[in-house]
Amino acid sequence: MFNPMNLTDRKILVTGASSGIGRETSILLSKLGAQLVLTGRRKEELEKTLSLMEGINHLVLPFELSDFDNYKNLFNEACYDDKKLDGLVHCAGIAKTIPLRILSYELMLETMKINYFAFLELVKHYAKKKYSNGGSIVGISAINAHMPRKCMSLYAGSKGALEASIKTLALELHESKIRINSVVPGAINTEMAQKYASLVSSEQVDNILDGQLMLMGNPDDVANVIAFLLSDASKFVTGRHYYVDGGRL
Ligand SMILES: NC(=O)c1ccc[n+]([C@@H]2O[C@H](COP(=O)([O-])OP(=O)(O)OC[C@H]3O[C@@H](n4cnc5c(N)ncnc54)[C@H](OP(=O)(O)O)[C@@H]3O)[C@@H](O)[C@H]2O)c1
């Protein structure tokens, strides 16, 4: 049966594959036929993701994304079999709830490294002819970049930076036949959302969910849109932002 989202034989690198949206995305992409390269720091959680996936020839490559001297090794290992990448998804992210008065340069750097600098470094390596031949890249932003929440200025800024880069990158990557887009999730039920809920009042959580017509989303809601953006079903789409926020109107 014809499936425009078929990803058979596409090789796709997913960061943050050890948890939440990255895990669910990896499972879905494997069901669509893709060969996955799973990264994250926790090897046991990456192995758990692998155990939930379909297909063979997937790779588990534990990697610390703030290790900027080692991206070349990550991509060399991802392409060890001379098969280049067809897609990249940057799901890894950190969302610290930090009041302005205790914001320090170290905290700023920690978040920017993973949410934004890592994204640029991944895209830079992916774009090398040695590692890919065209394909599609998806960055994960967050609704916080558009809807203000107290104590989230750093997180919102890191996601705003990612979104702001997408159009320029789309221009630069077009000649290499690489598309690039971002997904902007609302509140999604993952470890990250549970950690946030444990730090704020139940009223604040209710306020957030009240803004989402469909209340809390699930990781597969985001994974479906990521799969669409990686597949040929979106072959005429680049430089765009897709909201997956349960109707935050
Ligand atoms: N959940 C939400 O409500 C929501 C809403 C909007 C946007 N988002 C965005 O969606 C993305 C996925 O979030 P999630 O909810 O799935 O979060 P999650 O369950 O907390 O997963 C975060 C992932 O990031 C990885 N990671 C964190 N620091 C890393 C580092 N230094 N090096 C390598 N990997 C690192 C973690 O892997 P290890 O711990 O194994 O390293 C984990 O796999 C994030 O970019 C987040 O900002 C989430």
Q: Out of 116, 155, 196, 242, which one is annotated catalytic?
A: 155
For position 205, what pLDDT does the model report? Answer: 86
Alpha carbon of 191 to ligand 1 centroid (Å)? 8
For position 210, what pLDDT does the model report? Answer: 83
- Kindly report, residue by residue over 21-76, the tens digit of the pLDDT: 999 999 999 999 999 999 999 999 999 999 999 999 999 999 999 999 999 999 99
* Alpha carbons 35 and 23: distance in angstroms, whole number: 14
Mutate to test the pocket of ligand 1, among 48, 190, 216, 222 (most ligand atoms within 8 A of CB): 190
Res. 206 pLDDT band, cuts 50 70 90:
confident
Q: Is 45 in the pocket of ligand 1 (CB under 6 A)?
A: yes
- Kindly report, residue by residue over 112-147, the tens digit of the pLDDT: 999 999 999 999 999 999 999 899 999 999 999 999
Q: Dig out the tokens for 46 from the structure.
A: 């990456």
Alpha carbon of 2 to ligand 1 centroid (Å)? 33
Fold of 11-239: Rossmann fold (3.40.50)
Q: 118-126 vs 71-78: helix axis angle to the nearest 10? A: 50
* Alpha carbons 89 and 85: distance in angstroms, whole number: 11
pTM: 0.98
Average pLDDT, the chain: 97
Low-confidence winner among 1-5, 15-19, 204-208, 229-233 (lowest mean pLDDT): 204-208
For position 213, what pLDDT does the model report? Answer: 95
For position 204, what pLDDT does the model report? Answer: 85
For position 89, what pLDDT does the model report? Answer: 99
155 is catalytic: yes
Q: Is 64 in the pocket of ligand 1 (CB under 6 A)?
A: yes
Looking at ligand 1, which atom is closest to the CA of residue 185? 6
Q: Is 65 in the pocket of ligand 1 (CB under 6 A)?
A: yes
For residues 89 and 25, is the Cβ–Cβ distance under 8 A? yes
Alpha carbon of 32 to ligand 1 centroid (Å)? 23
Percent of the chain at pLDDT exceeding 90? 91
Residue with tokens 């690489």: 178
Res. 176 pLDDT band, cuts 50 70 90:
very high
For position 191, what pLDDT does the model report? Answer: 92
For position 200, what pLDDT does the model report? Answer: 87
Q: Is 22 in the pocket of ligand 1 (CB under 6 A)?
A: yes
Q: What's the whole-number mean pLDDT along residues 225-241?
A: 98
Looking at ligand 1, which atom is closest to the CA of residue 45? 40
For position 208, what pLDDT does the model report? Answer: 84
* Alpha carbons 133 and 127: distance in angstroms, whole number: 8
Indicate the burial class of 41 (C-beta count within 10 angstroms; 0-12, 13-18, 19 or more): middle
Q: Is 140 in the pocket of ligand 1 (CB under 6 A)?
A: yes
For position 244, what pLDDT does the model report? Answer: 98
- Report which DSSP code applies to 217: B
Q: Is 66 in the pocket of ligand 1 (CB under 6 A)?
A: yes
For position 36, what pLDDT does the model report? Answer: 98
